[in-house]
Amino acid sequence: MVKAFLERLRQGHRTLPYPESMPPMPERFRGLPVLDPTKCPDGCRSCVEACPTGALRLDGGRLALDLGRCLFCGECEKACPAGAVRFSADHRMAARTKEDLVIDGETVRLARALDRQALRLFGRSLKLRQVSAGGCNGCEVEVNVLNTVIFDLSRFGIQFVASPRHADGLLITGPVTANMQEALRKTYEAVPSPRLVIAVGACAIAGGPYIDHPQVVNGADAVVPVDLYVPGCPPHPLTTLDALLRLLGKIPESDHRSPSPRRHEGHA
């Protein structure tokens, strides 16, 4: 016991001070994609054709990227001859609607807080039941990291529970396979109303690498209504934490819009 106490003193405070300050991200981390349409050569479709999930598209000749479909594989960045697509170190990407997940080189629309009534119910205490609906375990591992001393999710009043009957909502990972549709629906129905649903990862948002496969339904919102989308494959724990804090109004309203990606370099 004494040795454990002394070791704890030696280690000091381990919990990240987020959101008060931003820790440095790993050098290889791929965060918010940055599009610069001014660098797009006329008629070039190199990045669009390189994308394995159709996340990139040309709308009327203008480049757009769907964060919900993006696997953050970096193939588009490699394929673009002019550098019109690159990945920043910005972890902030979550949105309340699928429409807000589509970026085009202008303002990025980040997730906004719940309405006043919902914040009264969930703002100080949010219990979530995690459902793996056919995931590869990548997103599940990153979500579990939020329970460690480094992130300490419970300090914000957010906890994971074992039963949907004790939960305020669901946190869903995986593309929702055919075998998981009914299980997900029944789990959702077991959560007392009102309830929240959070889709974490490219699979839970749009099917991920399995998109349009006959054995998946292309994401959670094909089965249950979704209140928050967290992009990534898998999302970094800070991306998920940031999303949850925005949903609960714990990040200032002034930080709910990222500047134009053409000027935004993300965090160092």
pLDDT score at 8: 67
Q: What is the pTM of this model?
A: 0.90
The verdict on residue 10 lying in a domain is: no
Q: Is residue 100 part of a domain?
A: no
State how far the Cα of 253 lies from the Cα of 246, in Å rounded to an integer.
9
- Kindly state whether residue 73 falls inside one of the protein's structural domains: no
- Which residue range is the domain that position 146 belongs to? 116-257
Beta-strand runs (E) in 227-267 = 228-230, 257-258
- Which of these, 70, 139, 111, lies nearest to 244 by C-alpha position? 111
12 located within any domain: no
The C-alpha atoms of residue 206 and residue 192 are separated, in whole angstroms, by: 26
Q: Can you give the pLDDT at residue 268?
A: 31
Is residue 187 domain-resident?
yes
Asked if residue 239 belongs to a domain, the reply is yes
Q: Is residue 18 part of a domain?
A: no
Q: From the CA atom positions of the chain, what is the Rg in Å?
A: 19
Is position 54 within any domain? no
Q: Where are the alpha helices (DSSP H) in the chain?
A: 2-11, 46-50, 75-79, 116-122, 138-144, 181-190, 202-206, 237-247
- Residue pair 86/77 in contact (Cβ under 8 Å)? The answer is yes
Q: Tell me how many domains the chain contains.
A: 1
Kindly list the averaged pLDDT for each block of 10 residues, start to end, along the chain of length 268.
Answer: 75 82 90 90 86 90 92 95 93 97 91 96 97 96 95 96 97 97 98 97 97 95 98 97 97 58 38
CATH assignment of the domain containing 195: 3.40.50.12280
